[in-house]
C-alpha cells in the first residue's frame, strides 16, 4: 500500500507572511492526521522561510504512531535558528529523513543528488544519520542510474523527484517522464531500496503515477494538497461566516 505523508510547509509560509502564530503548522498537521493521512513531512530550511525549528520540535507529541519525515540538505551548516539537519533529526527522532540537495536560493527543491559526484560526501553523512534508528531516503531525479551504490552505503529508500512528470502531465504528453520514473523505481527495487515519490503530485496526476508504479511506498504531497484544500473548503467556510451574519442560504 502506498501511504500519504502531508507536507505542511505551506501552512508555515502563510503564518510567516503575516507574523504571529496563525496558522499553527502543528495544529494543521494534527488536522491532516485526523483526516487519515499516514504521516507528516516538513522541510526546515536554514533561512527559515517556512517550517522552523520549534515547529519541528512540536510535532512528535501529536503523531500518535504516524510517521514524521524530515527533509533537508545535510550539507547546509547550522546557523542562528537552524541547528542543522542532523541535530534536528537527533532531537526528534523521525521515522525518516530525506536528504535533498537544495540551496538557500532555490524557491523549492528542483533536482536530485548527483550520485556520481555527491556519493563520497553522502556516504559519510548517511553513516552519521544511521547511528540512530532513522530510515534514510535520498532525493533523486527520474532516470538516474547507479542506485545500487546508494544501497551499499546504507541508504534505505530513494524519493523520485516527480516535478518533470507533473509538468509533462499538465501539457498532456508525459509518457517519457513517466517511463523514467518507472525505470528508476525498478532499478531501486532491484538494488533493495524502497521507493518514495514527491513534488507537484496532485489529485489530477497521482493516479497515473500509481497505475504505472503501484509499488511506491510513500508519496509526499504539500503544495497541491493545500491549493486543492483552499478551493474545496472555501464554499463551506464562506457559508459559515454568512450564517454568523444571519445570511446563510436556506438549507445550508
Q: Check 50, 159, 177, 199 and give the catalytic one.
A: 199
Catalytic residue among 50, 71, 177, 187: 71
Q: Is 160 helix (H, G, I), strand (E, B) or coil?
A: strand
Q: What is the DSSP letter of 97?
A: E
Q: Quick check: is 228 catalytic?
A: no
Is the distance from CB of 61 to CB of 78 less than 8 angstroms? Answer: no
- Note if 38 is an active site residue: no
50 is catalytic: no
For 15, 77, 171, 235, 246, the CA distances from 62, given in Å and listed in that order, are: 20, 28, 39, 29, 36
Can you tell me the distance from the alpha carbon of 201 to that of 166, in angstroms, rounded to the nearest whole number? 6
- What's the rounded Cα separation, in Å, for the pair 23 and 93? 25
Q: CA 19: distance to chain centroid?
A: 24
163 and 198 Cβ atoms separated by less than 8 Å: no
Cβ–Cβ < 8 Å for 227, 197: no
DSSP H stretches of helix in the chain: 9-18, 25-34, 53-58, 85-92, 115-129, 147-152, 163-171, 175-190, 206-212, 223-244
* Residues with active-site annotation: 43, 71, 199
Amino acid at each position: 500500500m502506498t501511504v500519504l505523508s502531508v507536507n505542511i510547509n505551506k501552512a508555515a509560509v502563510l503564518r510567516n507572511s503575516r507574523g504571529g502564530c496563525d496558522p499553527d503548522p502543528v495544529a494543521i498537521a494534527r488536522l491532516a492526521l485526523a483526516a487519515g493521512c499516514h504521516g507528516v513531512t516538513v522541510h526546515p530550511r536554514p533561512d527559515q522561510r517556512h517550517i522552523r525549528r520549534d515547529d519541528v520540535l512540536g510535532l512528535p507529541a501529536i503523531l500518535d504512531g504516524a510517521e514524521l519525515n524530515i527533509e533537508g540538505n545535510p550539507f547546509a551548516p547550522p546557523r542562528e535558528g537552524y541547528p542543522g539537519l542532523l541535530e534536528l533529526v537527533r532531537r526528534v527522532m523521525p521515522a525518516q529523513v530525506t536528504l535533498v540537495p537544495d540551496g538557500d536560493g532555490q524557491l523549492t527543491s528542483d533536482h536530485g543528488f548527483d550520485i556520481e559526484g555527491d556519493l563520497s560526501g553522502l556516504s559519510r553523512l548517511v553513516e552519521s544519520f544511521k547511528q540512530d534508528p532513522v530510515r534514510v531516503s535520498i532525493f533523486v531525479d527520474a532516470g538516474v542510474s547507479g542506485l545500487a551504490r546508494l544501497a551499499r552505503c546504507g541508504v534505505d529508500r530513494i524519493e523520485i523527484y516527480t516535478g518533470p512528470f507533473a509538468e509533462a502531465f499538465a501539457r498532456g504528453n508525459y509518457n517519457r517522464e513517466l517511463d523514467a520514473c518507472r525505470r528508476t523505481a525498478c532499478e531501486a527495487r532491484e538494488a533493495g531500496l524502497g521507493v518514495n515519490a514527491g513534488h507537484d503530485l496532485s489529485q489530477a496526476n497521482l493516479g497515473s503515477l500509481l497505475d504505472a508504479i503501484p509499488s511506491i511506498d510513500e508519496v509526499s504531497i504539500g503544495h497541491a494538497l493545500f491549493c486543492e484544500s483552499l478551493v474545496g473548503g472555501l464554499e463551506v467556510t464562506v457559508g459559515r461566516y454568512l450564517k454568523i451574519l444571519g445570511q446563510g442560504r436556506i438549507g445550508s
